């Protein structure tokens, strides 16, 4: 068998039912000619490179299949005569193809794609949720609470107390310095001028009495 790939563009204004009938029609044509469809991909509506029958968009469909010589010609004939088909193109991928191998590879691809899209199993999801919501172990929680409530070390407390009391001690020292009496020497110096004044007055008085 030969390996073919055909792309055809369907009228974008068809209803979903009519569109599905078109795909089934050409798939059946291949199967009726003893061909084997490897895969069918629906690419949806896409913008055309240029207007075709006044349409600027079309619904693209790809069919990959294996068939004997002449089947592709029959398929293209059917596409050409169908007024719902805007355009088509067939490419021969290989002259000889291992149908079973191609089918097996395509099934593996589909299984891999489904596995990627599938959500995580319920057990894994539940385990992840529990792990996020689980509280911290009792030992860690107790240690954290003790650390928050523990008083500061004695040395730090004493240092902080001294630092707070230091200004008061300085104030008391300043007040004592202001209230303290002057030294004896200063007192004597202050008193000496008074003695000189007394002596001067005495001499004046003595002179007057004479």
Q: What's the CA gap between 153 and 151, in Å, rounded? A: 6
What is the predicted pLDDT for the residue at 116?
83
The pLDDT tens digits of the residues spanning 70-106 come to: 999 999 999 999 999 999 999 999 999 889 999 999 8
Strands 85-94 and 55-67: unpaired
**Radius of gyration for the alpha carbons in the chain, expressed in angstroms and rounded:** 54
Domains of the chain with bracketed CATH = 2-117 (3.30.70.60), 149-196 (no CATH)
Supply the pLDDT for residue 207: 47
Could you tell me which residue, 162 or 118, shows the higher pLDDT? 118
pLDDT in tens, 115-149: 888 776 666 666 666 666 655 556 665 666 666 66
The mean pLDDT of the chain is 77
Residue pLDDT, tens place only, 39-64? 999 999 999 999 999 999 999 999 99
């Amino acid at each position: 068998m030969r390996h073919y790939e055909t792309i055809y563009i369907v009228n974008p204004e068809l209803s979903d039912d009519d569109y599905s009938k078109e795909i089934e029609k050409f798939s059946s044509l291949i199967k009726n000619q003893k061909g084997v469809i490897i895969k069918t991909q629906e690419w949806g509506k896409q913008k055309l490179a240029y207007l075709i029958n006044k349409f600027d968009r079309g619904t693209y469909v790809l069919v990959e299949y294996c068939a004997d010589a002449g089947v592709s010609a029959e398929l293209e004939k059917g596409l050409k005569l169908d007024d719902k088909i805007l355009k088509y193109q067939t490419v021969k991928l290989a002259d000889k193809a291992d149908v079973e191998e191609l089918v097996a590879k395509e099934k593996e691809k589909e299984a891999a794609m489904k596995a990627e899209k599938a959500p995580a199993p319920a057990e894994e999801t539940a385990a992840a949720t529990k792990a996020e919501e689980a509280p911290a172990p009792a030992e860690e929680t107790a240690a954290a609470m003790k650390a928050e409530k523990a008083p500061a070390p004695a040395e730090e407390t004493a240092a902080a107390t001294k630092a707070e009391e230091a200004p008061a001690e300085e104030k008391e020292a300043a007040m004592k310095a202001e209230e303290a009496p002057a030294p004896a020497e200063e007192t004597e110096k202050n008193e000496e001028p008074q003695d000189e004044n007394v002596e001067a007055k005495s001499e004046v008085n003595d002179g007057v009495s004479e």
